[in-house]
């Protein structure tokens, strides 16, 4: 599993910032202008990027992705041994060491965890997907928005997206066994076939997994729960198609994520307070 701690040095005080109405169809819009082999993301380049934070240590321990104004998607193993009252959802941040590079940083209290199968206290690598529900609505603004669910790609074929490129972002380690990055990093990764992934991990890899392999580039520790983001060829929107789960070392072996298209129906049926748009 890929979760360790990254200290948040500063979270800016609450200020009056412009908000935008929440629109489920206004999703996946990337603002363009160190994960292993990665580069620094632009400030609020991925407004749907979030992180799980320990409320006691103020440290990032996993990634997450905003999917509605009350929900964020993450990996189930990130929530093992955790309590909703002790976890916060960090949104709108870029450089966690300063808190001054963007005015959109906010930390939301968590009301509840929703884990596939109902049990959050497991490190089982199958069905490694979960959601967190915030106490208050997440305010949308120029630096905070939602990523699209892959509703229109809702088939769980084994090689869906194989041969395409996806982007991952996070504050995780920039090398295996190294230290985390204070600045949000991004990396482009190649999606491989299920058979290629099984050649490394065996039959534990199923149709419900999606794997990436790009030598020297990877997600790493503390990137668990972050999304593999696929850019739609027809509309340029970004979709969450994978939730980072596990791998061996970083940048040398395939990285395994939970295939979101296999769980779209589960997400929708277990978040009745949220609405989603097929765009």
- The answer on pLDDT for 40 being more than 50 is yes
Q: Is 60 helix (H, G, I), strand (E, B) or coil?
A: strand
Same domain? For 193 and 244 the reply is: yes
The pTM assigned to this predicted structure is 0.89
Tell me what pLDDT residue 167 has: 95
Give the pLDDT band of residue 15 (cuts 50, 70, 90).
Answer: low
Residue 40 forms part of a structural domain: no
State the CATH number of the domain containing residue 111.
Answer: 2.40.10.10
Mean pLDDT of the chain: 87
In a domain, 177, yes or no: yes
Based on the residue annotation, tell me whether 269 is a catalytic residue of this protein: no
Tell me the pLDDT band of 5, cut-offs 50, 70 and 90: very low
Among residues 3, 68, 77, 209, the one annotated as catalytic is 77
Helices within 90-205 (DSSP H only)? 194-201
Position 42 confidence tier, pLDDT thresholds 50, 70, 90: confident
Query: What's the pLDDT at 4?
Result: 43
Give the percent of the chain with pLDDT over 90: 67
The CA–CA distances, whole Å, from 150 to 46, 73, 184, 264, 279 equal 17, 13, 24, 7, 8
Q: Which two tokens stand for residue 129?
A: 């997907």
Question: In terms of domains, do 65 and 127 share one?
Answer: yes
- Specify whether 191 is located in the same domain as 117: no
Instruction: Assess whether 108 and 194 both reside in one domain.
Output: no
Residue 88, domain extent? 49-146+264-270
- Classify residue 258: in a domain, yes or no: yes
**By mean pLDDT, which of 20-29, 38-47, 121-130, 189-198 is the weakest?**
38-47
* Beta strands at 71-74 and 130-134: parallel, antiparallel or unpaired: antiparallel
What does the alpha-carbon distance between residue 24 and residue 274 come to, in Å, rounded to a whole number?
9
Pair 130, 204 in one domain: no
Residues 134 and 200 in one domain: no
What is the Cα–Cα distance from 221 to 60, expressed in whole angstroms? 11
Question: Does the active-site annotation cover 278?
Answer: no
Label residue 38 by pLDDT band (50, 70, 90): low
Q: Does residue 173 sit in the same domain as residue 249?
A: yes
- CA–CA dist 47, 94 (Å, integer): 10
In a domain, 245, yes or no: yes
- CB contact burial 126-165 (16+ within 10 A = b; e otherwise): ebbbbbbbbeeebbbbbbbbbbbbbbbbbebebebbbeee
Q: From CA 63, how far away is CA 54, in angstroms rounded?
A: 12
In a domain, 153, yes or no: no
Instruction: Give me the pLDDT at residue 97, please.
Output: 80
Domain identity same for 142 and 216: no
In terms of phi and psi (left: phi > 0; alpha: psi -120 to 50; beta: otherwise), the region of 84 is alpha
CA distance 276 to 278: 7
* Residues whose CB falls within 8 Å of the CB of residue 49, separated by 6 or more in sequence, listed in order: 41, 63, 65, 66, 169, 170, 184, 226
73 & 129 share domain: yes
64 and 103 in a common domain: yes
Is 77 labeled as catalytic in the residue annotation? Answer: yes
pLDDT at 11: 47
241 vs 59, which has greater pLDDT? 241
Q: If pLDDT is split at 50, 70 and 90, which confidence band does 221 have? A: low
Name the active-site residue from 93, 95, 128, 223: 128
pLDDT per residue over 58-106, tens digit each? Answer: 889 999 999 999 999 999 999 999 999 999 999 999 888 876 678 999 9
Beta strands in the chain (DSSP E): 6-7, 39-40, 49-54, 59-66, 71-74, 87-91, 106-115, 130-134, 165-170, 185-192, 209-212, 227-231, 238-247, 255-259
Catalytic member of 68, 94, 224, 227: 224
Q: Are residues 54 and 113 in the same domain?
A: yes
* Whether residue 196 is found in the same domain as residue 235: yes
Report the chain's C-alpha Rg in angstroms: 17
User: 175 lies in a domain?
Assistant: yes
Question: Three-state SS for 76?
Answer: helix
Domain count for the chain:
2
Q: Alpha helix locations (H) across the chain?
A: 194-201, 264-269
Residue 198 lies in a domain: yes
In this structure, are strands 87-91 and 106-115 parallel, antiparallel, or unpaired?
antiparallel
Q: Output the six-digit token pair for 90.
A: 């960090």
191: in domain: yes
């Amino acid at each position: 599993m890929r979760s360790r701690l990254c200290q948040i040095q500063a979270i800016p005080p609450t200020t009056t910032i412009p908000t935008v109405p929440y629109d489920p169809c206004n999703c996946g819009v990337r603002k363009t202008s160190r994960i292993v082999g990665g580069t620094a993301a632009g400030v609020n380049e991925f407004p749907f990027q979030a992180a799980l934070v320990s409320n006691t240590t103020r440290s990032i321990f996993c990634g997450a992705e905003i999917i509605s104004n009350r929900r964020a998607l993450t990996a189930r193993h990130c929530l093992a041994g955790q309590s909703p009252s002790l976890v916060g959802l960090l949104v709108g941040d870029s450089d966690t060491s300063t808190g001054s590079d963007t005015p959109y940083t906010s930390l939301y209290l968590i009301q509840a965890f929703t884990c596939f199968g109902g049990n959050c206290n497991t490190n089982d690598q199958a069905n490694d997907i979960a959601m967190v529900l915030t106490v208050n609505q997440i305010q949308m603004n120029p630096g905070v928005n939602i990523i699209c669910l892959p509703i229109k790609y809702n088939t769980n074929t084994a090689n869906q997206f194989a041969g395409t490129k996806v982007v991952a972002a996070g504050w995780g380690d920039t090398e295996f066994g190294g230290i985390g990055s204070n600045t949000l990093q991004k990396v482009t990764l190649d999606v491989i076939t299920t058979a290629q992934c099984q050649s490394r991990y065996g039959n534990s890899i199923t149709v419900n997994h999606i794997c990436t392999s790009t030598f020297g580039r990877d997600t790493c520790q503390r990137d668990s729960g972050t999304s593999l983001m696929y850019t739609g060829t027809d509309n340029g929107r970004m979709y969450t198609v994978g939730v980072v789960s596990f791998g061996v070392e970083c940048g040398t072996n395939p990285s395994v994520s939970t295939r979101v298209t296999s769980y779209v129906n589960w997400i929708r049926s277990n978040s009745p307070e949220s609405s989603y748009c097929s765009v």
